[in-house]
Amino acid sequence: MDFKNIAAGMLADKLGVDNAQVGGIMDKLIGGGDKMDVAGLLGNLKDQGLGDIASSWLGDDANQSISADQLKEAIGAEDITQAAAQLGTDENSLLGGLQAALPQLVDKASSGGKLLDSIGGLGSLGGMAKKFL
């Protein structure tokens, strides 16, 4: 399984846009470049005092919700604005889609380690998970 394709598909479904549009945007939003970095996103959440939320996403129990403002702060307001414009949607719709999709994405990336290899192996997500547990 390719984590990027899962991420793009989930967000595309939430926003009602084409899956192909979302792939590159996901790399930029969750990594700031050409490669998705879930561990980096979780680290940003932790650095902003949202470690409990991030930890809940890593486990198989219920995911805690994140507000649009918290998510915008973790990803970056400018990146959210640019991504919304590229997708032809508004910021609130994009943030709503991300609020719904990101906890599920982290669950899929960390549940039983099934996707660890596609996002950098144990050194990235697994290492991040140990910091929260």
φ, ψ for residue 8, nearest 5 deg: -65, -40
Q: pLDDT value at position 102?
A: 87
State how far the Cα of 128 lies from the Cα of 17, in Å rounded to an integer.
31
For residues 92-99, give the mean pLDDT. 93
Q: Which of 28-42, 44-58, 113-127 has the highest mean pLDDT?
A: 44-58
Q: Encoding tokens for residue 75?
A: 């990803």
Q: pLDDT value at position 113?
A: 37
For residues 82-87, give the mean pLDDT. 93
Listed range (3-7, 38-42, 83-87, 115-119) with the worst mean pLDDT: 115-119
